Amino acid sequence: MKLFVGLGNPGAKYSGNRHNIGFMALDQIASDHGFAPWRSKFQGQLSEGKFGSTKVVLLKPETFMNRSGQSVGEAMRFFKLETADVVVFHDELDLAPGKCRVKTGGGHAGHNGLRSIHSHIGADYQRVRLGIGHPGHKDRVSGYVLSDFAKAEAGWLDDLLRGIGDGAPELAAGDAGKFMNAVSLRTAPPRSSGGGQGKPGGSKPGGGKPGAAAAKPPAPKPAPEPDPAPDTRTALQKLADKFR
């Protein structure tokens, strides 16, 4: 059994915040894989489902970010889970927007949600770090994470969340590599191996200009004429033919 925890703050006021990308990730998983409806439990919102034979519980703590560990600890005790059974999805300032990394253990790097979880269950849980970028100065961090994603960010955010939904079964099975591959197929799909630049209007094979007709092949050379037949007439016949 796995406990997937998404970090964020409860309420409509915060629902679109960068800090709530962990909630968004769990919503995507629940929607993509037909998990049970969300219900209130363990000071949070809970949804349950299965990937094959592996049961997965999704938990969105509603204690506010800086007390997330209370909800996580309560759920762990109820299900009799070990720290290694917990996977936490959270926003990451030190990753570029749209990037995703998986790690186990380590420090909380000042993240209030992780700090709280550390204090309740220890540090040896798995984290899915979801890049939101950095505002450029530490004094701007609080306002940045508590502001909504811009409309211009909708594209990469949707790709990232869909990739997480695609890879969730692999993550539950303990294969972080396959999970990351699934995310990458959404966020950085392989380029086409076709000719030219792979884009409409690109140059065509052979170096021609866009839209130009393909060069015609050279005309075939005419076949050589056959040698004339040998003249078998006698001298008298040749003289007679001149006067005809």
Which spans in 173-219 are helix H? 176-187
Q: For 14-26, how does the pLDDT look when each residue is reduced to its tens digit (9 = 90+)? A: 999 999 999 999 9
User: What range does the domain containing 74 cover?
Assistant: 2-187
Does residue 18 lie in a domain region? yes
Check residue 206 and give its pLDDT. Answer: 44
Average pLDDT (163-177) is: 97
Does residue 162 lie in a domain region? yes
Dist CA 72 CA 68 (whole Å): 7
Q: In this predicted model, which residue has the larger pLDDT, 210 or 120?
A: 120
Does residue 72 lie in a domain region? yes
Give percent above pLDDT 90 in the chain: 76
Question: Residue 196 CB: number of other CB atoms within 10 A?
Answer: 13
- 19 catalytic residue (yes or no): yes
Q: For 84-113, how does the pLDDT look when each residue is reduced to its tens digit (9 = 90+)? A: 999 999 999 999 999 999 999 999 989 999
Does residue 152 lie in a domain region? yes
CB 105 within 8 A of CB 124: yes
Parallel, antiparallel, or unpaired: how do β-strands 54-61 and 44-51 relate?
Answer: antiparallel
What global pTM score does this model have?
0.78
Does residue 199 lie in a domain region? no
Structural domain count, the chain: 1
Q: In this predicted model, which residue has the larger pLDDT, 196 or 186?
A: 186
CB 19 within 8 A of CB 146: yes
What DSSP element (H or E) covers 65? none
Does residue 197 lie in a domain region? no
Out of 19, 90, 111, 120, which one is annotated catalytic? Answer: 19
The CATH number of residue 111's host domain is: 3.40.50.1470
